[in-house]
Structures are given as C-alpha cells and as structure tokens.
Amino acid sequence: TQLLEQSPQFLSIQEGENLTVYCNSSSVFSSLQWYRQEPGEGPVLLVTVVTGGEVKKLKRLTFQFGDARKDSSLHITAAQPGDTGLYLCAGVTVTGTYKYIFGTGTRLKVLA
C-alpha cells in the first residue's frame, strides 16, 4: 500500500513559470522530506519539515507541511531548466512501526 501519493506525476513547463507539487497521505507523519533526483544521479535531500503548518524556503523553492501533518507541498517560483528532475517526498508515519516511506514521485521538466 502506497501511503504517500504525489501529484502531478509528470509536469512539463516553460522557464519562468511557477508550479506546485503535492504530497498527500491519509496517515499522519512525524516529519516529511523532499528530495530532488537529477537524471543519472541519486536523490539529494532538499528539506525536512517537522511542525504542522511549517513553511521553509530554499531560494525559489517553498515547502509547506500541512497543519494536520498528512500532506506537504513544494512550490517553485520562476522555474529554471536546472530545476528539471524527479521530486520525491518521504517521511515517517507516527502510527504503527517506524517506517520510512517514499512518495510516488513527480517528474518535472523545465523547457528553456
């Protein structure tokens, strides 16, 4: 059972556009993280959000953790070709055993 659903699955946009990627679950998470995976490389951790409602900014990227800690979003302002890659959310549920789960992924392509 996939507990972390990401949307959209694919996204192709022009340079300069804004976009939002969503990571949703019916489960509560103690924290959520976002990774970016560039073609031919392993995922790289971008951010960890821990508190419900928390907002973190990393240059043009804004990450938000839902108030109920069941969802998260990643907003990119003025996307650039260098933002191209696979974005993965991941986290640990608070219920049951401690298990680290990856989301289904969003593949982003930014066209110059």
Partner 1 sequence: EAQVTQNPRYLITVTGKKLTVTCSQNMNHEYMSWYRQDPGLGLRQIYYSMNVEVTDKGDVPEGYKVSRKEKRNFPLILESPSPNQTSLYFCASSFEYHDLGYGGYTFGSGTRLTVV
Q: How long a stretch of residues is the chain?
A: 112
Nearest distance from C-beta of residue 80 to partner 1, angstroms: 23
Question: CA torsion 54→31→109→7, rounded to 10°?
Answer: -90
DSSP letter for 70, please: S
User: By the criterion CB under 8 A, which residues form the site for partner 1?
Assistant: 2, 30-31, 33, 35, 40-45, 48, 50, 88, 90-92, 98, 100, 102-105
- Name which of 14 and 98 has its Cβ closer to partner 1: 98
Nearest distance from C-beta of residue 14 to partner 1, angstroms: 25
First CA to last CA distance, the chain? 37
Nearest distance from C-beta of residue 103 to partner 1, angstroms: 7
